[in-house]
Structure 1
């Protein structure tokens, strides 16, 4: 059973909702252990006293705040709680805003909020209110020793609390070489934009998160299994010769790249098919507007297998309409 990380209450106005916080995400990264390459023994790390170099156990470790160089104020968990009991036990909703007003760039870490004892009805009330209004709650919460700005969002039947980055934690883009929408070097033609939109529409589908997974992690684990079977567990693979990077010119033919991309889409994709039909229609219209030529006597003879008549007997050529 999942362990609660925090117990307290959501508070807005006079409403008080007892809740518990549970982690909504888990790491699935590769758990690699550092080894000594000489005998492949695991590398360990020790907590030690920087004053006497002696190892320190967890029971002897306390937290402190350095108020001047080398001087600390010891702070226990109880000290941190008593500093502001209400802040450490309350998710205090400050305002409600439209969901699309909070930029994705600010979202940080998701948590599930589950109702505490006796909180089912009032929890459901807040959930349905968020769902019906399309709003999210902007709140403050203290987790461990840091106050977080957070957003409360209705996701299915759950209320999700997602911590947010403060505005001063978002780096400015002024130092990055991002093309301005009106820059001449980044000018996009209507044809390029239409083809890019056609490609996007052709690749559009319903969001199915279960179909996406960490294929790189799977490949590494497959390599591990392969090395185990081959009894090459102690073999260190040395770097091979790096491939030369593909040469690319300064000028990129976006239209050609988009055409190739559209050509790779399955025939069943509506947008790509419509695009091809449009090209065929344009070819037909062009053929219709091109003047027709009456075949020469020699060409006609070649088709019928009969000898061509003398030039003086040939009928006068009619002008094409």
Structure 2
């Protein structure tokens, strides 16, 4: 499969690289790394995310240089589209409107991927999409420098919870070591991601804890972030902190859920499990996707209480 991808890249003059909406570290790392790597071999490349970049990731200059909005995609026609870290076409926003006219390569590590490209390289065993990008760039004999190595490592570090999640295997450490040998600055990544929390986020966390609920002998914990709560502390919706990990860290909790309001009557639901529960089954049931221990979906409703009850009932049948 990777040889087919390499042939497509070599035969294309202009390439569009796109990631998913509501971008995270792995998504932006993968798009940026692919753009930088392809530029190093002389390709004309445009990186696109059809969404705003969270503040905590905008501190990486490479991301700011390489990632543009959808209008840039419309104004720069490409021979080939490479989609990274997106399990379904709706996850790339308006970029999917271009699929009908272009060759599409999908590079992803979500088991729920719908294989919607002309070429689909989906490796659920990979801890991050950034590792798959690394394999492609190595196959293309891209020469890594400190900036490219650092931004590529960002995706591996964030999608493994800085090497503490269960997806952290020997391949993760091998790839991370390769990038560190090429000059990757892990300290820069940790300072930007882990040591850079705004005070407003800590204040918001107090409200999240007050809204927190438990069910099924405390095996399920969930809470909400409303637009009203965000406005209270002057936090933009795109910068909503990922409190779901904090809920999962509580003793006895197997499944944690955050219901984050995005707009009036629209929510983004983020789910995590600790040991054995497959939250991707829940996500797929409600129209989303993801991994066994990290998944999510978006849902339109004017009754969040009703949605929470539906989700809890579905989970309760399996807990």
The verdict on a shared fold, with TM-score over 0.5 as the criterion, is no
Please give the range of the TM-score, normalised by the shorter of the 2 chains: under 0.3
The normalised TM-score by structure 1 is 0.21
Q: Which has the larger radius of gyration?
A: 1
The normalised TM-score by structure 2 is 0.22
